[in-house]
Amino acid sequence: MPVMDTRATSAMLYLDGVHVSFDGFHAINNLSLALEPGEMRAIIGPNGAGKTTMMDIITGKTKPDEGTVLFDGTVDLTRLDETRIAELGIGRKFQKPTVFESQTVYDNLLLALNVDHSVKGTLFWRGSKAESERIDKVLETIRLTDARNRLAGSLSHGQKQWLEIGMLLAQDPKVLLVDEPVAGMTDVETHLTAELLKQINKNHTIMVVEHDMTFVRELGVKVTCLHEGTVLAEGTIDQVSSNERVVEVYLGR
Amino acid sequence: MTPHILTRSLDRAATTFILVVAALGVLIPLSNLLLPQGSLFQVPTYLVALWGKYVCYAILALSIDLIWGYCGILSLGHGAFFALGGYAMGMYLMRQIGSRGVYGNPILPDFMVFLNWDKLPWYWYGFDHFAFAALMVFLVPGLLAFCFGWLAFRSRVTGVYLSIITQAMTYALLLAFFRNDFGFGGNNGLTDFKDILGFNVQAEGTRAALFFLSCVALLIAFFICRAIVTSKLGKVLIAVRDAESRTRFLGYRVESYKLFVFTLSACMAGVAGALYVPQVGIINPSEFAPGNSIEAVIWVAVGGRGTLVGAALGAVVVNYAKTFFTSGPLAPYWLFMLGALFILVTLLLPKGIVGTYNSWRETRRSAAAAADEASAAREDGVAAPKMAE
């Protein structure tokens, strides 16, 4: 397929004709999507549109029934497991903030650093100055420097969301998949999160799934609207939100 | 910048634990051997053997706490690894009997003569050498745990499903070891031991030495566990326990971590069993009983899961209670009491003895800190401005 080859080489993340069904329910239906290197893309769509399933497919948690999923134009993600895909450089923030609650903020970031993740490597690990400087930098970016020694479980909801974004930063992946980063945040926190993502986007490719339209508007990036597992509309936020079908899907028919 | 692996692993509870175990390990044997019998401070030999048993149980409890308390793997079949280590030691002790057995056969243990076997089965070869037997004490439980874990963890069997198949594993071994033709003495197991390394197993000196060695083994096991849980690997284990898939998405191969601690833990349980057998003088298939493994998990829960010291303490406390109750008129009710203990601990002390003590100290310390701050503020004559979070 020559068409695929030319497009696939330039895209950081490339999905083509992906299908997934769970017990006859078509969660993802002929989904095609391409993310250019350095791009930030917002994914919107009503509940059950397949946003989280799409992230599950990209990160190896769910195997598609058919279709192509390529990373960096060459790597077939459908053949790899979660650990391998994470090692390749795809990081993920979950919908529900999942941090290691019984460990400190600092340790959460330490665990996320993209250093030797083997059993031997961690058993004989000795901290280095470079590592702690990297963690300090991340702490500053996510505004949690003062909370570094607090248990992650004691953070507020918004702080947990940031910590998880910070863990993505420490992981330093090529692509960040961010699932509903501002769910449950105050307006101020939402604004700060948009700033944070824009800052991260300077040297990372990002895919953000979000319901909050103010937030998506603030990001000011290309928007893809999913519905019933397929792309319904794509374009700027104004184009997408004025699209008749999108309005129909969101408001009910 | 990070402290050395040995010093890092010592906090106050750990230091206290090490000192207590070391003191008991030296003083109990000395008092037993040096003081005249009947003197107030002389520890009678039967108590040395009894406490030796507790120490072995403490090692087993540590091995369970390492995987359950820190990595969330609830094995309800750890008694199997303990028993396998015990059988490896028992086989060595059987071969040491030589021609002193009832049938006087220099090679074959009595039960084989009784079954009319004419030669030693191949899997008994080598057990006349202590070094070989000692190696098997690690290798057999370790290998079983490795194969079991490799299959289970790769297929992502977790939680209650894993617990159930560990029960099935120990039950299957129980049935196998009950069979006479399996070649391990069937129902009766291995017993009537005479010598260990040339010393009479019944002798006071040998019992004292075995007690001392059990304490040494407990300390080594404790050191290994502490070194692991205070390393970065320990942080990964806790991460796996608390949010397994998150850990996977960070790029950790979770199954390798589980396999590593599970295998190590099985080896530790095997050593515990090997030290246990010469002190109690028998190993039989009942050690594989699923109930034994569950009881060992209860020790850890009572002492405090994820504290190491608590696991060892729980093993001693529960077994002391067991000895106390089962030797009195309350004996028939022991299992009810054990059940009640488990329910009460789960309801009232969910963190176990040590865990509850730790959090009590934590709250007291923070209360004291708050009181200090308040009084300091009063002395300054101004209220300290509250920092907004």
Q: Name the closest residue on chain A to residue B236, using Cα atoms.
A: A111
Nearest residue on chain B to A120, alpha-carbon basis: B233
Q: Which residues of B33-62 are buried (b: 16+ CB within 10 A; e: fewer)?
A: beeeeeeeeebebeebbbbbbbbbbbbbbb
Q: Residue ranges of the alpha helices (H) in chain A?
A: 2-10, 51-58, 82-88, 105-112, 119-123, 129-141, 157-171, 187-201, 213-219, 237-242, 244-251
Partners of A236 in the β-ladder: none
Q: Which two tokens stand for residue B348?
A: 């009232």
Give the pair of three-digit tokens for residue A17: 């004709």
The residue ranges of DSSP E strands in B207-300, in sequence order, are 282-283
- Cβ atoms of A32 and A17 closer than 8 Å: yes
Q: Which of B251, B221, B220 is nearest to B236 (CA)?
A: B251
Taking only the tens place, the pLDDT of each residue in A212-241 is 888 999 999 999 999 999 999 999 999 998
The closest CB to that of A125, out of B231, B250, B252, belongs to B231
Q: Would you call A117 and B238 a contact, using CB atoms and an 8 Å cutoff?
A: no
Question: The tokens of A117 are what?
Answer: 């993740």
How far is the alpha carbon of B245 from chain A, nearest alpha carbon, in Å? 9
What angle do the packed helices B232-242 and B45-71 form, to 10 degrees? 70
DSSP, residue by residue, A148-175: TTSBGGGS-HHHHHHHHHHHHHHH--SE
> Quick one: closest CA in B to A132, which residue?
B1
| A122 to B236: CB separation less than 8 angstroms, yes or no | yes
A1 has pLDDT over 60:
no
Report which DSSP code applies to B251. T
CA distances from A202 to A161, A173, B51, B234 (A): 20, 13, 65, 35
CB contact under 8 Å between B231 and A87, yes or no, is: no
For residue A9, what pLDDT band results from cuts at 50, 70 and 90? low
What pLDDT score does B370 carry?
A: 81
Search chain B and give the residue with CA nearest A171. Answer: B250
Give B346-358 pLDDT, tens digit per residue.
899 889 999 999 8
Predicted confidence (pLDDT) per residue in A156-215, tens digit: 998 999 999 999 999 999 999 999 999 888 899 899 999 999 989 998 999 999 988 889
Please check whether residue B388 lies inside any domain of the structure. no
Cα separation, B320 vs B315, in Å, equals: 8
**Which of A98, A107, A124 lies at the smallest CB-CB distance from B246?**
A98
Q: Which residues pair with A205 in a beta bridge?
A: A175
* Cβ-defined contact of A102 to B242 (cutoff 8 Å): yes
CB burial string B282-303: b at 16+ within 10 A, e below: bbbbbbbbbebbbbbbbbbbbb
Angle formed at CA B246 by CA B245 and CA B251, multiple of 5 degrees: 95
pLDDT at B8: 59
| Residue B270: half-sphere exposure toward Cβ, Cα within 13 Å | 25
What ipTM goes with this model? 0.87
> What is the rounded distance in angstroms from the CA atom of residue B180 to the CA atom of residue B115?
8
Chain B residue nearest residue A58, CA to CA: B249
Instruction: Domain count for chain B, please give it.
Output: 1
Residue B380 lies in a domain: no
Residue B172: how many CB atoms within 10 A of its CB?
A: 13
Contacts of B253 in chain A (CB under 8 A): 83, 117-118
Strands B190-191 and A25-35: unpaired
pLDDT value at residue B1: 41
Please indicate whether, in this complex, the C-beta atoms of A111 and B235 are within 8 angstroms of each other. Answer: yes
Q: Is residue B387 part of a domain?
A: no
How far apart are the CA of B65 and the nearest CA of chain A, in angstroms? 17
Amino acid at B348: L
Q: Which of B247, B249, B257 sits opposite A119 (nearest CB)?
A: B257
Residue B378 lies in a domain: no
> Could you report how far apart the first and last alpha carbons of chain A are, in Å?
39
In a domain, B376, yes or no: no
How far apart are alpha carbons A249 and B261 in whole angstroms?
Answer: 51
Which residues of chain B does A87 touch, with a Cβ-Cβ cutoff of 8 Å?
A: 251
The number of beta carbons lying within 10 Å of the beta carbon of residue A82 is: 22
Residues of A in contact with B387 (CB under 8 A): none
Range of the domain at B202: 2-371
Is residue B317 exposed (0-12), middle (13-18) or buried (19+ Cβ within 10 Å)? middle
Dihedral sign computed on CA atoms, order A19, A21, A25, A28: negative
CB-based contacts of B265, cutoff 8 Å, min separation 6: B63, B64, B66, B67, B75, B78, B81, B145
pLDDT value at residue B270: 98
- Give φ, ψ of A203 to 5 degrees: -135, 25
- Alpha-carbon distance of B289 to B187, in angstroms, equals 12
B interface test, pick of A77, A108, A115, A122 with most B CB neighbours within 10 Å: A122
- B179, B182, B183, B188: CA torsion to nearest 10: -20
Tell me the angle at which helices B254-280 and B130-154 cross, rounded to the nearest 10 degrees.
140
Whether B379 maps to a domain, the answer reads no
| Selection from B249, B388, B234, B254 nearest residue A164 by Cα | B249
- With beta carbons less than 8 A apart as the criterion, state whether A167 and A101 touch: no
Mutation target among B232, B261, B362 for the A interface, most CBs of A within 10 A: B232
Whether A86 and B235 lie within 8 Å, measured CB to CB: no
Q: What's the CA gap between A119 and B159, in Å, rounded?
A: 22
| A152 interaction partners in chain B (CB closer than 8 Å) | none
CATH label of the domain that carries residue B192: 1.10.3470
- In order along its 389 residues, chain B shows pLDDT tens digits of 445 555 555 788 899 999 999 999 999 999 999 988 888 888 999 999 999 999 999 999 999 999 999 999 999 999 999 999 999 999 999 999 999 999 999 999 999 999 999 999 999 999 999 999 999 999 999 999 999 999 999 999 999 999 999 999 999 999 999 999 999 999 999 999 999 999 999 999 999 999 999 999 999 999 999 999 999 999 999 999 999 999 999 999 999 999 999 999 999 999 999 999 999 999 999 999 999 999 999 999 999 999 999 999 999 999 999 999 898 888 888 888 888 988 898 899 889 999 999 889 888 888 888 888 777 766 655 444 444 43
Does B385 map to a domain?
no
